[in-house]
Amino acid sequence: MASQLPPFPRFVFTKFEPLSLLSGFLPAILSPDWFTHSQIPPSPSSLSPLIAYPTTARTVTRQLGNMYFLAFLVGVGVLYSSSEIRVVKNYLIALWVADLGHMMITAEGLGWAGTLDVRGWNAMTWGNLGVTMFLFLTRTAYLMGLFGPDRPRVLKGTKKTE
């Protein structure tokens, strides 16, 4: 199915996004204290050292990491195995809605000033807002047809298209 997508969204959804999901999965699993601590960039006046979080916070962080891995697996499964463009579009619509929630929750944690202070963002904030906004806008443009039409599906063993 991925071969039916126009080139730019195909690259974004089948290469860039899975790698970004793995980049969320690995630190949440391997370094949950750092991952939790990095969610909100500290202000210069309140730079705090990395602390050891309670076991419950580590467990929740690792569960979040596991959800990133699940999203990676579902994305790869849908985009590389489905031959139905409707399935892929519905998957992308679901991600579009989830992108909104992800960005709103992050913005709430940062506050208005922190959300607008792009120069003060750390790597985690760039992932949570910058990358998610890029994916959201790419999904929006694709779903609106701004990258052009999907390519027709080539039936296996023939040169026929649907």
Q: For the segment 37-53, what is each residue's pLDDT rounded down to a tens digit?
A: 999 887 665 566 677 88
Chain-wide mean pLDDT for the chain?
92
d(CA 147, CA 6): 6
On whether the CB atoms of residues 114 and 120 are closer than 8 A, the answer is yes
Share of the chain above pLDDT 90, in %: 80
On whether the CB atoms of residues 78 and 87 are closer than 8 A, the answer is yes
pLDDT at 2: 77
C-alpha dist (Å) from residue 49 to 33, 45, 46, 77: 11, 13, 10, 40
Beta bridge partners of 154: 161
pLDDT at 145: 97
pLDDT at 46: 57
Predicted confidence (pLDDT) at residue 158 exceeds the cutoff of 70: no
Share of the chain above pLDDT 70, in %: 90
On whether the CB atoms of residues 24 and 127 are closer than 8 A, the answer is yes
Per-residue pLDDT of 83-115, as tens digits, reads 899 999 999 999 999 999 999 999 999 999 999
Per-residue pLDDT of 60-82, as tens digits, reads 999 999 999 999 999 999 999 99
Residue written as token pair 């940062």 = 110
Q: Which ranges of the chain does DSSP label H, i.e. alpha helix? A: 7-11, 17-30, 32-37, 55-81, 85-116, 123-125, 132-143
